[in-house]
């Protein structure tokens, strides 16, 4: 497992309660793991802790053990060890701009350049990442003139260009239109073949199409962890408002759990 949390508690500075409570989880390559829950459940915090950004950047207090790529990513030694090996995408693309790029190509190259790669390797990585995310046509545009959705794709390209072993995506489709969101989700299974992909989002309807594992959080604690049908198809998940629209409709229509999560699954089950 590339990411392992054991009995982790985390509290933000000046907060009255823990954002994560006794979280024990492990993530590895091969799965697209969807972490979801109601707002404030701790999904984004879980990713921050796994990346070591909490408490290193955010402050606050953490207890328990976090091991990412063999090191505690919040420690000085661990930060050196995981530098460039964890890709973290925030939900707000405009706050992720480097501030020193005037073309998309330069912006995507910011991360790889920080890792000290040779220029020809950076060029190849940037071209590959832009092609992967489908933003080659934006290469010479000023990132500041892009829409939120375009900018989020630029940021995703910037992260994937660094070729990280762990991809932590916090609401990656928040700014995207439905087609753009579908395109991002379609990338994830291919990326997950070699990388650890953890996705925190409330966009469960679309994310469940690609997720192979779901972790459900409630008030900082893990309440369920398993296959999507087992976690999100339950009465509890639907009652929490954390499941898909299709599951909610099935529940309101009086069907019994486990509920189907996607339209295709509903058709399979009810159109016999």
Partner 1 sequence: MTLGYRPGTGVLHRAHPFTVLVLAGTVAVLAFTLPAPLGPMLLTAGTVAIAVAARVSRTLLTALAFAAPFWVFLVLIHVVFGDSPDRAVAVGSQISAVLVVFLMTLAAVHPGRLVDALLERGVPFHMAYLLVATLQSVPELQRRASAILDAQRCRGLRVRGSVWGRVRSVVPLAVPLVLGALGEVDDRALALEARGAAAGLRRTPLDPPHDRLAERVTRWALLGSVLGTIAWRIFA
Name the one residue in this structure whose structure tokens are 């989020």: 152
Q: Which stretch binds partner 1 (CB under 8 A): 15-23, 64-72, 91-99, 257-265?
A: 91-99
Residues 18 and 59: their CA atoms lie apart, in Å, by 13
Report the residue from 51, 166, 191, 237 that binds partner 1 according to the rule CB under 8 A. 51
Cβ at position 118, least distance to partner 1 in Å: 7
Cis before 258 (ω within 30): yes
Report the residue from 67, 92, 212, 221 that binds partner 1 according to the rule CB under 8 A. 92
Task: Give the side-chain half-sphere CA count within 13 A for 95.
Answer: 5
Residues 85 and 195: their CA atoms lie apart, in Å, by 10
Residue closer to partner 1 (CB basis): 111 or 228? 111
The tokens describing 211, both together, are: 């997720």
Cβ at position 261, least distance to partner 1 in Å: 31
Report the residue from 10, 27, 110, 259 that binds partner 1 according to the rule CB under 8 A. 110
Name the one residue in this structure whose structure tokens are 């439905």: 178
Q: Is 58 in the site for partner 1 (CB under 8 A)?
A: yes
Residue 245's nearest CA partner among 207, 214, 210 is 207
Q: Is 15 in the site for partner 1 (CB under 8 A)?
A: no
Other beta carbons within 10 Å of 212 = 15
Q: Is 78 in the site for partner 1 (CB under 8 A)?
A: no
Q: Is 118 in the site for partner 1 (CB under 8 A)?
A: yes
Residues 196 and 91: their CA atoms lie apart, in Å, by 19
Residue closer to partner 1 (CB basis): 26 or 57? 57
Q: Is 260 in the site for partner 1 (CB under 8 A)?
A: no
The tokens describing 183, both together, are: 């395109």
Q: Is 95 in the site for partner 1 (CB under 8 A)?
A: yes
Residue closer to partner 1 (CB basis): 98 or 127? 98
Other beta carbons within 10 Å of 178 = 9
Q: Which parts of this chain interact with partner 1 (CB under 8 A)?
A: 48, 51, 53, 56-58, 79-80, 83-84, 86-90, 92, 95-102, 106, 109-119, 122, 142, 144, 158-159, 162
């Amino acid at each position: 497992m590339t990411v392992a949390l054991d009995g982790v508690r985390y509290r933000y500075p000046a907060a009255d309660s823990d954002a994560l409570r006794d979280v024990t989880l492990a993530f590895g390559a091969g799965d697209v793991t969807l972490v979801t829950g109601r707002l404030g459940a701790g999904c984004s915090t879980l990713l921050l802790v796994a990346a070591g950004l909490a408490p290193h950047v955010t402050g606050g207090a953490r207890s328990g053990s976090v091991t990412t790529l063999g090191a505690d990513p919040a420690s000085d030694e661990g930060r050196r060890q995981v530098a460039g090996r964890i890709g973290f995408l925030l939900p707000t693309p405009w706050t992720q701009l480097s501030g020193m790029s005037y073309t998309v190509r330069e912006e995507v190259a910011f991360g790889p350049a920080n890792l000290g790669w040779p220029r020809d390797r950076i060029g190849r990585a940037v071209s590959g990442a832009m092609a992967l995310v489908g933003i080659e046509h934006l290469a010479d545009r000023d990132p500041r003139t892009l829409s939120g959705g375009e900018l989020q794709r630029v940021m995703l390209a910037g992260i994937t260009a660094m070729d990280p072993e762990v991809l932590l995506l916090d609401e990656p489709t928040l700014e995207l239109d439905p087609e753009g969101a579908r395109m991002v989700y379609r990338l994830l299974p291919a990326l997950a073949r070699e990388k650890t992909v953890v996705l925190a989002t409330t966009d469960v309807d679309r994310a469940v199409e690609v997720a192979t594992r779901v972790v459900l959080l409630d008030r900082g604690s893990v309440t369920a962890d398993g296959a999507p049908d087992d976690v999100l198809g339950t009465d509890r998940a639907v009652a929490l408002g954390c499941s898909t629209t299709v599951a909610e409709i099935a529940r309101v229509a009086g069907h019994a759990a486990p509920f189907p999560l996607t339209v295709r699954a509903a058709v399979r089950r009810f159109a016999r």
